[in-house]
Amino acid sequence: MNIMRNDKVVLIKGMDGFKKVGETFEIANITDTKIILREVTSKVAVGAIDIDAFEAHFKKAEEVSGWLSWENLVDRTGNVVAHYRTNGKKVQVRTPDGYRAETTCHNADDFNLFFGIQLAYNRCVMKSLNDEEAELVAMIEDLESELNVVRSAQSETKHTIKMMINSLELPQEH
């Protein structure tokens, strides 16, 4: 791959300090043995990659087409909470319990992988919470129905007890 300073490259396979597959970097400098990468917007250097390892983990941004592979999305404790993939314009997230969501970068917007992953993940969480709410509402409705049956039975039994007591002949005084 022919690269020059200021070219944009995309991480296609995680390594060492570079874990967020799909993230875009800019070539800051090239030495005899290393390629120095920086963030695209802030221009802050983020790492140096051995030239030999570079091609196995990065592609030029314009060469990336289609969806990259699904990657683990982990929480702060290292637990896998979902999987994500990107094509450089969209991010898709899927959770282990079957929820899926997608975010799209519009033409005027700069693609931000981190933002896209978080937004799509939170959309999955919202879908899960909506389903949980619907289940709880259904349970409440079932319980209210059962409670009404019990209250009706209590009322009928109370009436029966009253009728039984009223039907007793009271002893007469002499």
Task: Please provide the DSSP assignment of 20-82 as one string.
Answer: -TT-EEEEEEE-SSEEEEEETTT--EEEEEEHHHHHHHEEEGGG--SPPPPEEEE-TTS-EEE
Q: Residue 97 — very low, low, confident or very high, per pLDDT cuts 50/70/90? A: very high
At 20, which amino acid appears?
K
Mean per-residue pLDDT, 5-30: 87
Determine contact, residues 62/53, Cβ cutoff 8 Å: no
pLDDT class of 171 with cuts at 50, 70, 90 = low
> What is this structure's pTM?
0.69
